[in-house]
Amino acid sequence: MDFSERIGERFKLMNRDEIRAWQSERLAITVKQAAKSPWYKAKFAEMGLNPEDIKSCDDIKKLPLTTKEDLRLSYPDKMLAVDKSEIVRLHTSSGTTGKPTAIFHTAQDIQNWAELMARSINLSGATDKDVLQNMSGYGMFTGGLGIHFGGERLGMMMIPAGPGNTPRHLMLIRDFGVTAIHATPSYAMHVADEMISNGEDPKALGLKYAFLGAEPYTEAMRLRLQELYGFKVYNSYGLSEMNGPGVAMECTYQNGMHIWEDSYIVEVINPETLEDVPEGEIGELVLTPIRRMGMPIIRYRTRDLTRIIPGKCECGLEHRRLARFVGRSDDMLIVRGVNIFPSRIEQVLMAEEWLGGNYVLHLTREDGKMDVMTIRVELAKDAMSGSVDVLKNRKAELGRKIKDAAGFTAIIELVEPGSLPVSMGKAKRVIDERDIF
Ligand code: ADP
Ligand code: ZN
C-alpha cells in the first residue's frame, strides 16, 4: 500500500463540493445499513421513516438523534448491523459518565479507522521516520489500539508503553529515539513535573510531537507543555462511539482540529432546542459516522461542547475545524448560581508560572447553604524556595484573578509538588461533595 493510500489522501484533499456529494452518497448507504440493526429498524418503523427516503445530506434532519442513553439501552448489541461473524473487534467507552457503551467493528471498519488515524498523525508532519510512544491504556480504551493501528499504518515504529511507570517511559524515550508521544495532557504534565522535581529537563528528551487529548484542556495548558518540553502539542479529539481517536486533529497551524468530514457528518446544535446553531457559535457536537458499517450510529449527540471555526485553514485543507472543547455538557458546574466549566479555572492556574501542573477543584456546601469551591493546586518546584511573603502575595493575587474569571470567591490551597493524586487516564479534576449534605 503506498503512502497516499495509507492516509486516505483522496479523502483528505476533497474540496467542499466533493465532501458534500460524498456525504450524501454515504449517508444514504449508512441509513440503509443502520436499518438492518434491531435498534434502528424499530426506531425507523416507529417514526414511519423509510430508509429509501434519505437521499442526500439535506435529509439528515428527518433522521432521529441518538443519545448515550440509547446506546446504553441498546447494550450489548441491538445496534449491530451485520452478522456477528463479520465483527473483528469490540471496544467500550471509558465510562466517565456512567455505564460504558459497546462498539463493534468489522475488518473494514478497523482499516478505515487506522487510515483516519494515520492521516491525523501525519497532519503534524510526523511520518514513518518517527517513533511514537503511546502512553494510553491498551485494552478497551480506544486511545490504546486506535492510536497504535494508526501509527503502524503510517509506518511509524510504535511503542505500546501503556500508562503509568514514568521511569520506564523515560527509559524507552531515551533508548529508542522516540520523537512523538500520545497521552492525556494531564499525564504529560505529570511526567514533566516529575522530571523537574528530579532535577531533569524534559527538553532534553528531544521530543518533537505530542498528540494530546481524551480530556479537555486549555490553551494555557498547551503553551505550558510546549514550553516545558520544547515539542509541539496537537489537540486530538475522538470518542469510542465514533471509533475513538482520529475523529479530528490539528494541523501544523495548531488552530482548531480538522474534523474528517469524509467519515463524519457534523452538526452543531443547541442542546435545548435541538436546532442548528449558526456557524461559529458554541453548541453540542452531533456526529454521524458514514464509513462504518458494523455498527452505524445515526446523529450521535456527543454532549461535547464546541464550535466550528469559520473560514478556511491556512494549510488549505477543506475539512472544517472544531475549536478547543469547552467540556462536556455534564461537566458544567453550578457554583453559587454561577455556571462555570472547570476549564475556566484551569486557564487562570496554568498562566501562573509559580504553580505546578496539577490541580483539583473541591466543592462542598457550608451548613447546607452556601457552595464553597476549594482550589487545591500544586506549587512549582522553585516556588517553594522563595520567601513566605512573596507566596502570600501571589496567593492573594491569584484569589483576585479567580474571582474575576469565575465570578465568585474560591478558597485557594497551595500544596507541595507531587502531592495531589495523579490519574493514569483521564484526570479527575472535580470532587463534588455537595450532595452529601
Ligand atoms: P467516555 O465518554 O466514557 O469518557 P471515551 O474514552 O470514548 O469515553 O472518551 C471520549 C470523550 O473524551 C469525548 O466525548 C470528550 O468528552 C473527551 N475528549 C476526547 N478528546 C478530547 C479533546 N481533545 N478535548 C476535550 N475533550 C476530549
Ligand atoms: Zn489546517
The string of pLDDT tens digits covering residues 49-95 is: 999 999 999 999 999 999 999 999 999 999 999 999 999 999 998 88
Long-range contacts of 381-387 (CB under 8 A, 24+ apart): 381/193, 381/196, 381/197, 381/356, 381/417, 382/354, 383/354, 383/355, 384/416, 384/417, 386/354
**What is the C-alpha separation between 382 and 252, in angstroms, rounded?**
33
For the CA atoms of the chain, what is the radius of gyration? 22
Ligand 1 and 236: CB distance under 6 A = yes
pLDDT at residue 139, as a whole number: 92
In this structure, are 343 and 278 located in the same domain? no
How many CB atoms are closer than 10 A to CB 412?
Answer: 17
- pTM for this structure? 0.95
CA of 323 relative to ligand 2 center, distance in Å: 12
Q: What is the count of structural domains for the chain?
A: 2
CA of 129 relative to ligand 2 center, distance in Å: 22
Ligand 1 and 213: CB distance under 6 A = yes
In this structure, are 237 and 267 located in the same domain? yes
Q: Indicate the residue among 329, 347, 372 that finishes a domain.
A: 329
Contact yes or no for 301/286 (Cβ under 8 A): yes
Nearest to 437 by CA among 355, 371, 379: 371
Instruction: End-to-end CA distance of the chain: give it in Å, rounded.
Output: 61
CA atoms within 13 A on the CB side of 114: 18
Q: Indicate the residue among 305, 329, 353 that finishes a domain.
A: 329
Average model confidence (pLDDT) for the chain? 95
Q: 325, 347, 430: which to mutate for ligand 1, most atoms within 8 A of CB? A: 325
Q: What residue ranges of the chain have pLDDT lower than 70?
A: 436-437
The whole domain housing 431 covers: 333-436
In this structure, are 192 and 258 located in the same domain? yes
CA of 38 relative to ligand 2 center, distance in Å: 40
pLDDT at residue 330, as a whole number: 85
Secondary structure letter of residue 216 according to DSSP:
-
> What CATH number should be reported for the domain holding residue 342?
3.30.300.30
pLDDT at residue 271, as a whole number: 95
Residue 251 exposed, middle or buried by CB count within 10 Å (0-12, 13-18, 19+): buried
Q: 66, 105, 184, 239: which to mutate for ligand 1, most atoms within 8 A of CB? A: 239
In this structure, are 23 and 160 located in the same domain? yes
> What CATH number should be reported for the domain holding residue 268?
3.40.50.12780
Q: Indicate the residue among 329, 350, 367 that finishes a domain.
A: 329
Cα 41–110–141 angle (5° rounding)?
Answer: 90
Per-residue pLDDT of 5-15, as tens digits, reads: 999 999 999 99
In this structure, are 337 and 281 located in the same domain? no
In this structure, are 184 and 209 located in the same domain? yes
Secondary structure letter of residue 113 according to DSSP:
H
Ligand 1 and 95: CB distance under 6 A = yes
**What is the C-alpha separation between 136 and 154, in angstroms, rounded?**
18
**What is the C-alpha separation between 260 and 320, in angstroms, rounded?**
8
**CA dihedral for 312, 313, 315, 318, sign (positive or negative):** negative
Secondary structure letter of residue 199 according to DSSP:
T
Pinpoint the alpha helices (H) of 35-67.
38-47
In this structure, are 355 and 305 located in the same domain? no
pLDDT at residue 436, as a whole number: 53
pLDDT at residue 437, as a whole number: 45
In this structure, are 257 and 403 located in the same domain? no
Ligand 1 and 237: CB distance under 6 A = yes
Contact yes or no for 104/206 (Cβ under 8 A): no
The position carrying cell 458514514 is 290
